[in-house]
Amino acid sequence: MDYSSAWLRFCKAEEEYFASRYDFVQNEMLMVSDLNLGLANASHNDTALRLLLEVRPRVEVILPLLPIIINLAVDSSSYYRIELAQEVLHNYKSESRARSTILTLVSTYLDENDEWHYRRIAELYELMSYEEELTDFLALCRANANLEIQEIQEDFIERKRVTLSGRQ
């Protein structure tokens, strides 16, 4: 039995994808430049994030891209894009240079006093297992005058309670 033309096209496209991905990652300076442009372009940022998840470049490649990735993780209106950006960041959670840069960049969103940003930050800290930062951040939420931001602390405490009760 012969393969369908759809299968053959799929196999060819996959081969082309892996060959082009290999070529793309060979020059890190060019890769950073292209990823920077791709992450900044709404038509290409999902592709750039998926590529970063697949190839997991060295931390030196990620560092100059962190401002845009943090912005996508905290300020995007697309849950899919937020999850992709958070997963990219998660891959570098143990890298000290990435961690300090992430924490610095995240702090720039606090002055806006925006519930959306605060909730995405809490989710990011939880995903990254930044327990101390999450605890401090939830205390900041609790002390905030904005009731929606206070609610974030309550939601995370409740979620933790449910998770812990499910383990018993």
Q: What SS3 string covers 64-102?
A: HHHHHHHHHHHHCCCHHHHHHHHHHHHCCCCCHHHHHHH
Q: How far apart are CA 157 and CA 160, in angstroms?
A: 5
pLDDT tens profile 76-108: 999 999 999 999 999 999 999 999 999 999 999
Specify the pTM: 0.89
Residue 156 near residue 138, CB atoms below 8 Å:
yes
Residue 73 near residue 85, CB atoms below 8 Å:
yes
pLDDT tens profile 31-88: 999 999 999 999 999 999 999 999 999 999 999 999 999 999 999 999 999 999 999 9
Q: Which amino acid type is present at position 7? A: W
- Domains, the chain, in order of start with CATH, read 26-167 (1.25.10)
Confidence band, pLDDT 50/70/90 cuts, at residue 157: confident
